[in-house]
């Protein structure tokens, strides 16, 4: 069965430039939104609540790829090492994710050379669109 690909572009001198494709993740991922509301204890023992002007944050997306080669791992690790601004387009839904890969975790299976399972966190940064 062939892998599905997603388009990936990187920001070069302020413009989006295609950097080919990456494999679609092999494992479902969560798109989490968290409120920034704070619970404050008051002098009378009750609680007050404060919501700053930034009302929520989005947690990084965690992509997991199974059985990928050195070339793919090097591409993702290069994005991390260079703090590359990226635009990833889901090849099925058309959803666009803007941000940077901020962490990679390569799993080597004993007895299998040059193929890995890779988990990478992608920090969402809509402001770079």
Q: What is the pTM of this model?
A: 0.82
- List domains and CATH numbers for the chain: 5-128 (2.40.30.200)
- In sequence order, the β-bridge partners of residue 120 are 63, 104
- In sequence order, the β-bridge partners of residue 118 are 65, 106
Length reported for the chain: 129
Pairwise CA distance, residues 11 & 17, whole Å: 6
**104 by DSSP, 3-state: which?**
strand
Residue 1 has pLDDT above 60, yes or no: no
Q: List pLDDT tens digits, range 23-80.
A: 999 988 888 889 999 999 999 999 999 998 888 888 999 999 999 999 999 999 999 9
């Amino acid at each position: 069965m062939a892998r599905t690909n997603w388009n990936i572009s990187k920001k070069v001198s302020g413009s989006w430039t295609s950097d080919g494709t990456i494999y679609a993740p092999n494992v479902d991922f969560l798109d989490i939104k968290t409120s920034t509301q704070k619970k404050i204890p008051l002098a009378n023992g009750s609680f007050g609540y404060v919501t700053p002007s930034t009302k929520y944050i989005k947690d990084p997306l965690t992509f997991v790829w199974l059985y990928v080669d050195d070339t793919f791992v090097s591409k993702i690790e290069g994005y991390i090492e260079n703090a590359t601004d990226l635009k990833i387009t889901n090849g099925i839904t058309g959803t666009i994710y803007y941000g940077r890969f901020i962490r990679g975790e390569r799993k080597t299976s004993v007895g299998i050379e040059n193929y890995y399972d890779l988990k990478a966190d992608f920090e969402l940064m809509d402001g770079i669109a």
